Chains A and B, each alone.
Chain A
Amino acid sequence: MKMLDQIWVQNLCVVAGYSLLGTVLWYGTRSDRWRAAWKRLKADVPGMGALFVIFAYLLVGTLESLTISAESGNLTLLQKLASGVPQEKSYSAPLAKTTLSVAEPKPLKAVHLLGTDALGRDTLVQTLRATRSALWIGGLTSLIYIPLGVLLGMMAGYFRGWVDDVVQFIYSTVAAVPEILMLVAILMVLGKGLGTMAIALGITGWVGMARLIRGETLRQVERPYVAAAKAMGQSHWKILSSHLLPNVMHLVLIKFVLGFSGLVLAEAILSYLGVGVPVGTPSWGAMIDASRSELSREPLVWWNLTASSVALFILVLALNFFGDALRRAFDPKRGE
């Protein structure tokens, strides 16, 4: 997990992540069903609006994930862009002219749109920087749980028999442990960090995906195209990868988007519990945790809590909206 701390690995991961997403979408354009869904999606106003919001978050997260070497140490692109924002001495309210102190307010070096936190850092910049943790958790976890869930689910549904029994046994066992307990246990043993958090969430997360894909595969196997492929003497692997996979892929995409919103929330909650991101990594959950005591201060410090929760809320909301829009686009008859 130490590897992830190196700059070039992180930069490479960003590029690799985008290429992977691009490849999946490019394969999607070859499918009639995906093209029809895209046409319907384009007419879906809330869905497209949500997509734009998600793109904005992706942009901010990417800027914070790409690191460059500078004279004053390594900086992320976002830090570089925000390098004009000075650090103050202490708390200051949004758009205030002095620090938040009844006894001796000190003049500020600049105007801060959303105020500053206890260390005098600009709240807006901190909130934007925290996007990275949320997106990395969502992305890394998806890289773990999607292949695992899809592969095992398809195998269980296709081969049935003992393969199905084994897969069902494994996921029943994992599902038998209440999720939050499992996450806490894994993270306590493995330690804090983005990588370990993704592993923990991946181990608990694949069960739902495997169940969904198993069910759909069981249904698809009955269809004539599978029988035709079998009659032509195609290998199991070929049937699974080039016939069944494209027919369940849209479910994977919908589950990926809706699951992403859950992962963003999970990141915040785990960081809040103290088993999430390492100390010092900007994260909405950690910001919410830090701002808990600020509400009992006099005068009241409310902007850190508000900024981090609103940023988190908007991303999760957009993901939920977009996921629902995708579902409507792929399955217009069901509606909901």
Chain B
Amino acid sequence: MFAYLVRRLLFFVPIIFGVMLLTFVLFFVVQSPNATARRVLGQRATPKAIENWLHNRGYDKPLLINQTPGEPWHDSLFLNQMQRLATFDLGASDVTGRPLAEIFREGALPSLLLTVPAFFASLVMSIGLSLYLVFIRNKAVDLAASLLCVMLMSVPVMVYVIFGQFVVAQVLNYFPAFGFQLKGISTVKFLVLPVCLMVVSGLGSEVRLFRALFLEEMGQDYIRTARAKGASTAVVLLRHVLKNGMINLITLLVASLPFLIMGSLLLENFFGIPGLGNVLFSAIQAPDFAVVQASVFLGSLLYLGGLLLTDICYAWADPRIRLQ
């Protein structure tokens, strides 16, 4: 198990390097630091102001290797960036100058408050519903359900949000629609609607996927054996299908982990929740390139962390995998 994990970890090293290279090319080569400065400071910035801005951030160094005599060769933009990221020094916001680590730390809790309940609620609902569909195996219900799933999939997130906000908050006048506060029961009341919307918007594709997965399991030989020894449908589903389908479910679920922490961009913006999604949204509007760049890096680290977790779950669920 240990050797397997080490091998997987080693596999991530080049990928992290690749992500660093990718963000560097995008933010420093495709768009030169000069152009960034111009877009952040505005078209009317004086050359002096731009020069200062570049110098304060160390963006006036050579791109890849420093060839200026008298300066160390590694004092270049790329290598400095790598050094900083390797020590998790994310730098500061282009606009406000606040350290990014602080901004992200503040945004993490509201994001998690929204996404973690939504994650578990949608997990329970979609597994329950798809198992139920496999259980009843009624042609008409099945057809109606898959029709409904495709329809749920075809509505863009923002329409769900606009509609939900309008009906629940304005027509029914029930939930506070805007103004997130971290204050006990009112936070919970406030989060009910966004969490519900998040569950509904993902439900269609999840139920469809899980149902296909479970149906495939239903065709396996061990199911016939279980039935032959007299197990009831419920037992077959809960003890056999769910357990074996789990291995495939894990992959799908872990892939959604980064979104738990990144939050949902649109939902946070709509409900004024000061989470990471909102941080990103205001960075787009500003524009604040440092925030976007750091988000890309952190987001991919989270994704890789999720991938490692998948591997651990896999190895734990299916011992054969460790030996490969």
Contact = CB atoms under 8 A, between A and B. Distances in A.
Interface of A: 169-170, 172-178, 180-182, 184-186, 188-190, 261, 265, 268-269, 272-275, 285, 288-289, 291-292, 295-296, 305, 309, 312-313, 316-317, 320-321, 324, 336
Secondary structure type dominating chain B contacts = helix
A269 B16 CA distance: 28
A309 B154 CA distance: 10
B287 interface: yes
Contact of A178 (B23, B166, B170, B258): B258
Contacts of A172: 15, 18
- Counting chain A CB atoms within 10 Å of each CB, the highest count among B22, B31, B151, B289 belongs to B22
Interface in B273-324: 280-281, 284-285, 287, 289, 292-293, 295-296, 299-300, 302-304
A203 to B, nearest CB: 10
A261 B150 CA distance: 11
A180 B289 contact: no
Contact of A316 (B19, B154, B158): B154
B292 A184 contact: yes
Contacts of B23: 185
Contacts of A296: 170
19 contacts: A169-B14, A173-B19, A173-B22, A176-B18, A177-B299, A178-B259, A178-B300, A184-B280, A188-B287, A265-B156, A273-B284, A285-B156, A288-B159, A295-B162, A295-B170, A309-B155, A312-B156, A316-B153, A336-B212
Nearest to B281: A273
Contacts of A174: 22
Secondary structure type dominating chain A contacts = helix
Given A176-B16, A176-B300, 17 more contacts: A172-B15, A173-B22, A178-B300, A178-B302, A178-B303, A180-B262, A185-B23, A190-B30, A273-B281, A274-B284, A288-B156, A288-B159, A291-B162, A295-B162, A317-B154, A320-B154, A336-B215
A269 B156 contact: yes
A246 to B, nearest CB: 27
Contacts of B159: 288, 305, 309, 312-313
Interface residues on B, range: 35 or more
B265 interface: yes
A174 B23 CA distance: 11
Contact of B162 (A274, A292, A312): A292
Contact of B154 (A180, A261, A275, A336): A261
A173 B18 contact: yes
Interface string B228-260: 000000000000000000000000000000110
A181 B30 CA distance: 17
